[in-house]
């Protein structure tokens, strides 16, 4: 019963619509309450699935009416064959547009799925009693721990005077691909850094597609040296960007 008051505002929290003071209080509660963290994970997954369904391409009424007017033609056409030829040309254009839209839709859905799964992995760590398998703030201890457990190597940044602290790491999987999950902390906010082989992610990701803003987390992703990096957390966008910069310059 103690968590009922929190759960009444959980959707508002996940949408980022609570006042900043309440958001901070909610962050602290979710970090300390496995039940609310698990509920948050479930709702994030539901929001992601609903969004994926809603991104399917559907022609607007205005678009349909414009096409119908073109097919109907205008008075004074030279011949019926010309009209049929025009209609065929319009139809061919529509087919091309439809295929392009469907391809864009598939790419966008793919991106949204990956971003959603990464956010789910981050939330799952908040609900876990053992968020890391190797507990250490020393990058020279955490990095060697992954050797032999994942099929690639990566570098960890120097954090001195950065404001960030390393809590540890664990193995994780995305799209059936093994990777590294590192957990950092800044001003009591936990940030996840995921590292995977880019070529192992089926279909890859569209670098020109913006990261969705509907995940209730700030996120940055990039590819470097054949590896795909994700930095995600409820910290500020500036903190997410600063940690990403440290990783980009560590190689």
pLDDT of residue 98: 55
**What mean pLDDT comes out for the span 141-156?**
94
pLDDT of residue 81: 54
Beta carbons of 129 and 239 less than 8 angstroms apart: no
- Report the chain's C-alpha Rg in angstroms: 24
Task: Tell me, yes or no, whether 94 lies in a domain.
Answer: no
**What mean pLDDT comes out for the span 117-139?**
86
Which residue has better confidence, 221 or 105? 221
Task: Tell me, yes or no, whether 60 lies in a domain.
Answer: no
**What mean pLDDT comes out for the span 155-172?**
93
Neighbours of 131 (CB within 10 A): 19
Task: Tell me, yes or no, whether 82 lies in a domain.
Answer: no
Mean pLDDT of the chain: 76
Work out the angle at residue 11's Cα, subtended by the Cα atoms of residues 6 and 14, and round it to the nearest 5 degrees.
100
Structural domains of the chain, count? 1
| pLDDT higher than threshold 80 for residue 175 | no
- Whichever domain contains 20, its CATH number is 3.30.200.100
At 243, the pLDDT band (50, 70, 90 cuts) reads: very high
At 45, the pLDDT band (50, 70, 90 cuts) reads: low
Comparing CA positions, the residue from 210, 96, 116, 193 lying closest to residue 154 is 193
Task: Tell me, yes or no, whether 89 lies in a domain.
Answer: no
pLDDT of residue 137: 93
Task: Tell me, yes or no, whether 47 lies in a domain.
Answer: yes
Task: Tell me, yes or no, whether 171 lies in a domain.
Answer: yes
At 48, the pLDDT band (50, 70, 90 cuts) reads: low
The model's pLDDT over 52-109, given as tens digits with 9 standing for 90+, comes to 555 555 667 777 777 777 766 555 555 555 455 555 555 555 555 555 444 444 545 5
At 212, the pLDDT band (50, 70, 90 cuts) reads: very low
pLDDT of residue 208: 47
Task: Tell me, yes or no, whether 79 lies in a domain.
Answer: no
Beta carbons of 155 and 251 less than 8 angstroms apart: yes
Question: For residue 72, with 0-12 CB atoms within 10 Å meaning exposed, 13-18 middle and 19 or more buried, which class applies?
Answer: exposed
pTM here? 0.58
In which domain, by residue range, is 108 found?
Answer: 4-53+104-248
Task: Tell me, yes or no, whether 68 lies in a domain.
Answer: no
């Amino acid at each position: 019963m103690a968590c009922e008051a929190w759960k009444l505002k959980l959707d508002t929290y996940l949408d980022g619509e609570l006042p900043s003071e309440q958001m901070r209080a909610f962050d602290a509660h979710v970090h300390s309450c496995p039940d609310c963290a698990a509920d948050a994970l479930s709702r994030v997954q539901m929001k992601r699935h609903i969004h994926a369904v809603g991104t399917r391409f559907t022609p607007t009424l205005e678009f349909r009416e414009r096409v119908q007017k073109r097919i109907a033609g205008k008075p004074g056409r030279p011949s019926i064959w010309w009209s049929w030829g025009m209609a065929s040309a319009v139809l061919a254009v529509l087919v091309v547009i439809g295929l392009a839209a469907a391809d864009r839709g598939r790419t966008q859905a793919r991106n949204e799925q990956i971003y959603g799964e990464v956010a789910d992995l981050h939330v799952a760590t908040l609900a876990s009693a053992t968020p890391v398998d190797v507990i250490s703030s020393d990058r020279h201890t955490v990095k060697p721990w992954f050797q032999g457990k994942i099929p690639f190597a990566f570098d960890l940044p120097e954090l001195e005077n950065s404001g960030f602290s390393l809590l540890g790491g664990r193995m994780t999987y995305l799209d059936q691909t093994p990777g590294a999950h590192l957990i950092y902390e800044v001003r009591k906010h936990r940030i996840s850094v995921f590292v995977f082989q880019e070529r192992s992610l089926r279909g890859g990701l569209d670098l020109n597609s913006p990261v969705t803003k509907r995940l209730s987390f700030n996120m940055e992703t990039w590819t470097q040296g054949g590896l795909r990096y994700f930095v995600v957390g409820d910290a500020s966008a500036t903190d997410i960007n600063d940690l990403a910069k440290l990783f980009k310059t560590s190689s």
